Structure 1
Amino acid sequence: MGTRLEVIGLKDVQEFQQLYKQSWPKYCQEYYCLDNFVEFLKKQPHMRNIKMYTLDTKQARDEGLFVIVDRYQLFVGCLNNTNGLVRKALDLLDWSTGLKCSSIPSRHIGALDSLVESKKLDLVFRDCTNLFFMKADDALKLRVEPPTGFVLKSLSVADAPLVNAEWPNHHEGSLFFVERQIRLCVSVGLYQEDTQELVAWCIRLQGGYLGALQVKDSHKRRGFGSVVTREIAYRLAAQGHDVMALVGPSNKPSSGMFSKLGFQVIDQCFWLRTEPTEGQFTWPEGE
């Protein structure tokens, strides 16, 4: 029999996560991606539409190989990128509905590109982002008092429609995603004190990095993006986490902000969206 995908659960993922502590922060993408899914499954053990796999070989487990399909998003990790394990696992997945390959570490992009070529998949996009990184000890120094007339606090699910509407990447099905991230992950919002209007925000996304960083147009150019970034970085560091963010090379304002705060670029991560191979498919809202 050939190599097959093997379903894994919380205990497996926790064991794999520990493997990625070595050579820190080389594998921080994999470590913090798994950290989020571990917390998801602890809080909500029977989450729908999350499938986690490795290959049914000892080598795959020794290398911490994982493939996670979270609704329409794909996350992958492996300690070794020279033994073909990632390519084998990707080849065994169902690509018929299209997948958004998210925050793929640069050492695995060759395997993914090879898969796309061999299966003759059409791409919606293929983008590279810089991985900005800061150690927890440094992030603990970022805490800042909110500007006069404003308060900093965690987002609530009631904020999700606004966050989703303002998010440049919003699409059908993304409101459910935003609501879930607010419920299960660290987030920060900057609110007008008298009206409680939400004017800036940031959420830890499921890959473990900061995302959905946004400031309302009416409140831009006042440094509010930096305020919420500093606060969420501090909150993560207070839990013992180093902090990551992914920024496109062409996004000069965000790149400049993270650099000014003291983040360092240590790697690149890739994003690919494949077209469905059997007609059109859109993830239903609310699943």
Structure 2
Amino acid sequence: MVSLQKAGLQDLEHLQKLYACDLSKYCTEFQCLDSFIGLYTTRLHLKNVEVFTLPDQELGLFVIVDRYQIFVGCLDTENSEQLLEQALHQLDWWGGMQCSSIRSRYGAAVARVVKSKVPPLKFDLENNLYFLPKEEALELDVEVPSGFFLKALSQQDAHVVDSSWEWSHSGSFFFIERQILTSICVGLYQEDNQELVAWCIRAQDGFLAALQVKDSHQRRGFGAVVVKEYSRRVALLDYDVIAEVYPGNKASSGLFRKLGFKVIDQCRWLATVPSQGDFTWPDGE
């Protein structure tokens, strides 16, 4: 049985360097670690986030528990699937957990653990993973429509983003507000009344997320505008651009393909139900 140990900022930075050796394969693990490094360096007191790894960090295994969301990674070795499975069994699943953005290479191991737990499975779904190289992102032509302007989202925009999000749920506002305050995000605003009409953010896994255009402003190309600007800002930081899209979302799938994104893999999302009623959040979170 593997022995997990808690990790800190320096451990995250070391793990990220391991994945940087092959970004063509480990771009998602690299960006997930980058996102949490950003959180650790911008927030002095990061509550309810735990990072676990192995004493032998050269294996690259990490398990990040962000409140109830789990993110994982492991370098490809002969027994990497077994290591990850053993690591996940050591977590406390009774409060209900959500395994997020699980690459296909980890999917079987994670699913076996989730389905072996007492809390029943809430959902098991798969998204397409879209990828755009930073070199191509820098070539995107961002044309701001007349009467509108682009800027980073503000904390006050979090309610608009969360209330409009298809996957909004108890606690999602906390995550959206935190990402707006600590990571890349883009909003398109109307000049005359400062109304936010389109937006996207960088989620904890490092992916473009919560892409939305208000119903009153759809079919005007505004989604493409914010995706292009977001992609440009990510590329200027020397990162490739990654996004997840539910296959049934034909509009978003078409948009990303039109902008040059390619599907490189699938990502699985699995969640268990809390054993004792609904998950509750502390005040202010």
* TM bin (shorter chain): over 0.9
**How many equivalent pairs are there?**
283
Q: For structure 1, which segment, 46-55 or 115-124, has the greater mean C-alpha deviation from structure 2 after superposition?
A: 115-124
SS at structure 2 position matched to 1:129: strand
Q: CA deviation at 1:31?
A: 0.4
Deviation per CA, 1:147-194, whole angstroms, max 9, x where unpaired?
011001110001111111101111222212111110001111000011
SS at structure 1 position matched to 2:21: coil
Q: 2:155·2:181 contact (CA, 8 Å) conserved in 1? A: yes
Q: Name the residue aligned to 1:24.
A: 23
Q: Percent identity?
A: 53
* Residue 81 to residue 286, structure 1, CA distance change in 2 (3 Å): farther
Q: Name the residue aligned to 2:280.
A: 282
Deviation per CA, 1:239-261, whole angstroms, max 9, x where unpaired?
11110000111111111110110
Q: Name the residue aligned to 2:3.
A: 4
Q: Name the residue aligned to 1:223.
A: 221
Task: Tell me how far apart the structure 2 counterparts of residues 163 and 33 of structure 1 sit (CA, whole Å).
Answer: 22
Q: Name the residue aligned to 2:63.
A: 67
Q: Name the residue aligned to 1:117.
A: 115
Q: CA deviation at 1:122?
A: 1.3
Q: 1:200·1:224 contact (CA, 8 Å) conserved in 2? A: yes
Q: For structure 1, which segment, 219-228 or 76-85, has the greater mean C-alpha deviation from structure 2 after superposition?
A: 76-85
Q: CA deviation at 1:275?
A: 0.9
Deviation per CA, 1:26-58, whole angstroms, max 9, x where unpaired?
1111000000101111111320110000134x2
Q: CA deviation at 1:119?
A: 2.3
Deviation per CA, 1:208-245, whole angstroms, max 9, x where unpaired?
00000000000011111111000000011011111000
2:109 maps to amino acid: A
Task: Tell me how far apart the structure 2 counterparts of residues 214 and 149 of structure 1 sit (CA, whole Å).
Answer: 19
Task: Tell me how far apart the structure 2 counterparts of residues 117 and 209 of structure 1 sit (CA, whole Å).
Answer: 26
Q: 2:2·2:83 contact (CA, 8 Å) conserved in 1? A: no
Q: 2:29·2:73 contact (CA, 8 Å) conserved in 1? A: yes
Q: Name the residue aligned to 1:128.
A: 126
Q: Name the residue aligned to 2:206.
A: 208
Q: 1:81·1:107 contact (CA, 8 Å) conserved in 2? A: no
* Residue 165 to residue 285, structure 1, CA distance change in 2 (3 Å): farther
Q: Name the residue aligned to 2:250.
A: 252
2:275 maps to amino acid: T
Q: Name the residue aligned to 2:36.
A: 37
Q: 2:154·2:181 contact (CA, 8 Å) conserved in 1? A: yes
Structure 2: runs of 5 or more not aligned:
none
Q: 1:173·1:286 contact (CA, 8 Å) conserved in 2? A: no
**What is the TM-score with the length of structure 2 in the denominator?**
0.95
SS at structure 1 position matched to 2:22: coil
Task: Tell me how far apart the structure 2 counterparts of residues 46 and 81 of structure 1 sit (CA, whole Å).
Answer: 35
Task: Tell me how far apart the structure 1 counterparts of residues 259 and 133 of structure 2 sit (CA, whole Å).
Answer: 12
Alignment partner of 1:13 is 2:12: yes
Structure 1: runs of 5 or more not aligned:
none
* Residue 259 to residue 75, structure 1, CA distance change in 2 (3 Å): same
2:69 maps to amino acid: Q
SS at structure 1 position matched to 2:268: strand
Alignment partner of 1:91 is 2:89: yes
Q: 1:7·1:52 contact (CA, 8 Å) conserved in 2? A: yes
Q: 2:114·2:270 contact (CA, 8 Å) conserved in 1? A: no
Task: Tell me how far apart the structure 2 counterparts of residues 219 and 281 of structure 1 sit (CA, whole Å).
Answer: 35
SS at structure 1 position matched to 2:20: coil
1:237 maps to amino acid: A
Q: 1:68·1:76 contact (CA, 8 Å) conserved in 2? A: yes
